[in-house]
Amino acid sequence: DAGVIQSPRHEVTEMGQEVTLRCKPISGHDYLFWYRQTMMRGLELLIYFNNNVPIDDSGMPEDRFSAKMPNASFSTLKIQPSEPRDSAVYFCASGTRETEAFFGQGTRLTVV
């Protein structure tokens, strides 16, 4: 298995632009998580899905952030409009109730 695949690996965008981060979970995993990592706040959970249904989105910072999981093999995290304070590394992870979470390589987002 190729593991959790995230794209792009790096994204540089201008303030106000829309940003879409993509994630392909490991086949057979029914949980998918989006985390954000910053120096100030560490690793924080933004949202997670179970069987493609959002379960807990309490970590989504504000309405500018949205996440979807249209099917079991794909999820997106969208920021519209982006702001410099959104600059961070965004991780996608997948797993099951019986396993650990497997993390993707992350997307490093820079908003200038």
Smallest separation (angstroms) from other proteins to the CB of 98: 10
Question: For other proteins, which is the closer residue by CB, 81 or 87?
Answer: 87
Cα 105-4-72 angle, rounded to 5 deg: 145
Residue 34 and residue 89 in contact, taking contact as beta carbons nearer than 8 Å: no
Instruction: Write out the binding residues for other proteins, residues 42-101 only, by CB under 8 A.
Output: 42-45, 48, 50, 55-56, 89, 91, 93, 95, 97, 100-101
Query: Which residue type is seen at 104?
Result: G
Beta-carbon count within 10 A of 7 CB:
14
Residues engaged in binding other proteins (CB under 8 A): 31, 33, 42-45, 48, 50, 55-56, 89, 91, 93, 95, 97, 100-106, 108
